[in-house]
Amino acid sequence: MDELLIDNAGRVRVLRMNRPDKRNALNNALTRALVDALAAAEADETVHCVVLTGNGPAFCAGADIAEFKDLTPEQMHRVEERAELTMQLHLAVSRMSKPVIAAVNGFAMGGGAGLALACDLVLAARSARIGYPEVKHGIVAAIVLPNLTRQVGRKMAFELVATGEAIDAERAVALGMFNGVHDDERLMDATLALAERLAAVSRPAMATTKRTFHEVVDLPLARGLEVGREANKRMRSFVRTDR
């Protein structure tokens, strides 16, 4: 079975994690497939937007603990390779010029929650739940923390990772983790409709919007305004009809 299913819907590429019997837990193969598929979508000029979702009843249960037996102090090269791969997955979306939308169709836990929040936009099924249960298993929600703290703030981020408790989709919207909630049967229709709207935007305008957003989000105000000024000047050379 392929760990990742890839389909095109016009200018939208749909990536569907495909380990339903494992709730789409992130093993090495799936993580690598996601990194490679995002790079391929970025390089493909026919793709203007990407949708990421899960096959089956869950979005992603997080890291596949079945592989933890190989991640030991005696095999540090494996530990380092896995940590690097996970980090690259979380960086991949922010480095792309094309928007990526997560369609959270069920549980998004641990690394799965981090993967959803790494996307530019997140729509969720009403039944979805999101959380960081690592502490309950004696491990640490580490690589997911930078995106989480940027989106919900310090106090709420610490509560989520320190208690390990999951929250429902409505609460996640209120905290700014999700952009919207839809009935389960309408989630993909709503996500694809949003993706098509984003895909219709001028490619240079979208690429500059995304690049500028990620550049200014953590800058001091004055420096952020300077970055915005330069982007504004570059926009003057764009052709409005360039799609």
Q: What is the pLDDT of residues 39-65, one digit of tens each?
A: 999 999 999 999 999 999 999 999 887
| pLDDT at residue 51 in the model | 98
Q: What is the pLDDT of residues 177-191, one digit of tens each?
A: 999 999 999 999 999
**DSSP-H helix ranges across the chain:** 28-43, 76-95, 111-118, 145-152, 154-163, 169-175, 187-199, 203-216, 221-235
Residues with catalytic roles: 134
Which backbone phi and psi does 109 adopt, to 5 degrees? -120, 145
Domain map (residue ranges) of the chain: 4-198, 202-235
Q: What is the pLDDT of residues 86-103, one digit of tens each?
A: 889 999 999 999 999 999
Rounded mean pLDDT of 146-165? Answer: 94
Q: What is the pLDDT of residues 129-149, one digit of tens each?
A: 999 999 998 888 888 898 999
Q: What is the pTM of this model?
A: 0.89
Range 4-198 has CATH code 3.10.520.10: no
SS3 125: strand
SS3 13: strand
Q: Torsion angle of alpha carbons 106, 210, 238, 46, nearest 10°?
A: -40
Of the listed ranges 16-25, 107-116, 150-159, 210-219, the least confidently predicted one is 210-219
